């Protein structure tokens, strides 16, 4: 998740405990971002307006819930739906939204992560401020299967269970997910503004080989289309659309690219071009990952880009003088997706800017195009046809109608 990325699943001999052994995707970069911003703020250099913590007009967790728990039993009968999920934007580095778990529903905040495939939420033993209490659910059913997933910042431990899960008006009864009771090894989890993770990756990524939320929704026939789509706002809330797209959230037409790896949402990467002075074609794959805050790439390539930008590392993030920065273009399967230099910046202080760029050592080189990329481009994820559609996102006061090349 910022969460991180390129994971390999290892099964225990007993088949009851599983983990991701990827290079530290989830949450480690996000924690680093938050700690770096805090450090700069403590140095009386960074000024973060408090309104950035409330970029949406209304917090879905304040007051009455958007959905009624009493209607959960009827949800499976409602077919051909689309569901809009409001995503709270925290400092332009993480987006999260509400789900309900149990009967009656308990509201929790989750990151909707295309880079993983499991749903997990903390339970009352985890020490989290907000948690899922199975004792309050009349539809809870325990299992004896352990859950173990390892992120760059540490492990998350618990066990699988079955209960009702609702996303807006969409509901899944007797769904298998993980209730996490041990976050003690996860460094600084309390700094993160969400409670759990809902994976939207393909079944081959599922720890424990349990069903995924998206596959269950598709199989239930509730969705109008077997797709979902993301709009990530800049200094404003985002939106996850399940079962279709929101035409008001993008301009022009969707450009479709087939997925090359039916695990991650991976597409061919032809080359990366920085301004007019650097083109690299060393890496052949890019992953579109809503759970990663930044652009994450192989160490050698990121260091080359940073050197040409005159950027320096500070707490694991690159700082650069806020002069005019060159564009960076990702060529995906014959289509160019440029980002303006200013769109690489996630925060600024005085004359310096924090770049949304991070390096990672990987066994198999790949680029992870996270929220920095997905703010610029509206992305539709087509579950059945194993493809993604890209279009320029339509932001507030944005009248750009240019089509993709």
Catalytic site positions: 113, 289
The number of CA neighbours under 13 Å toward the Cβ of 328 is: 23
Of 326, 317, 255, the closest CA to residue 288 belongs to 255
Angle formed at CA 138 by CA 200 and CA 192, multiple of 5 degrees: 40
Q: Which of 64, 141, 77 is nearest to 107 (CA)?
A: 64
Structure tokens at 399: 């009248």
Q: How far apart are the first and last CA of the chain?
A: 30
| CA–CA distance, 12 with 3 (Å, rounded to integer) | 24
Output the CA torsion 129→98→356→314 (10° steps). Answer: 0
Instruction: Quote the CA–CA distance of 321 and 352 in Å, as a whole number.
Output: 4
The Cα–Cα gap between 184 and 179 comes to 15
Which is nearest to 387 in space by CA: 259, 200, 244?
259
């Amino acid at each position: 998740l910022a969460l991180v990325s390129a994971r390999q699943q290892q099964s225990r001999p007993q088949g009851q405990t599983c983990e991701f052994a990827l290079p530290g995707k989830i949450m480690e970069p996000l924690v680093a971002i938050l700690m770096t911003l805090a450090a700069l703020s403590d140095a009386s250099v960074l000024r973060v307006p408090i309104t950035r913590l409330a970029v949406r007009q209304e917090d879905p967790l304040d007051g009455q819930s958007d959905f009624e728990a009493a209607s959960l039993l009827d949800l499976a009968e409602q077919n051909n739906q689309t569901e809009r999920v409001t995503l709270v934007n925290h400092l332009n580095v993480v987006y999260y939204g509400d789900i309900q778990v149990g009967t009656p529903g308990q509201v929790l905040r989750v990151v909707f992560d295309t880079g993983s495939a499991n749903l997990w939420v903390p339970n009352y033993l985890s020490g989290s401020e907000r948690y899922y209490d199975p004792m309050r659910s009349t539809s809870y059913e325990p299992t004896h299967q352990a859950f173990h997933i390892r992120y760059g910042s540490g492990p998350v431990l618990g066990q699988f269970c079955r209960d009702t899960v609702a996303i807006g008006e969409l509901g899944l009864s007797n769904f298998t997910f993980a209730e996490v009771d041990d976050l003690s090894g996860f460094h600084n989890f309390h700094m993160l503004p969400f409670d759990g993770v809902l994976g939207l990756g393909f079944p081959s990524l599922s720890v424990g080989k349990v069903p995924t939320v998206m596959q269950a929704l598709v199989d239930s026939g509730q969705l109008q289309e077997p797709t979902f789509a993301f709009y990530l706002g800049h200094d404003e809330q985002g939106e996850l659309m399940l079962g279709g797209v929101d035409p008001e959230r993008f301009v022009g037409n969707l450009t479709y690219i087939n997925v090359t790896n039916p695990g991650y949402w991976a597409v061919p990467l032809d080359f990366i071009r920085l301004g007019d002075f650097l083109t690299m074609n060393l890496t052949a794959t890019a992953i579109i990952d809503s759970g990663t805050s930044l652009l994450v790439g192989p160490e050698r390539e990121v260091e080359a880009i940073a050197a040409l930008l005159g950027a320096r590392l500070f707490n694991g993030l690159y700082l650069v003088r806020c002069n005019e920065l060159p564009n960076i273009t990702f060529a995906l399967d014959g289509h160019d997706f440029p980002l303006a230099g200013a769109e690489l910046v996630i925060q600024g202080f005085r004359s310096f800017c924090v770049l949304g760029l991070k390096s990672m050592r990987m066994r198999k080189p790949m680029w992870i195009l996270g929220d920095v990329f997905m703010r610029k481009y509206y992305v539709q994820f087509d579950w059945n046809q194993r493809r993604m559609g890209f279009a320029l996102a339509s932001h507030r006061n944005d009248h750009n109608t240019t089509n993709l090349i």
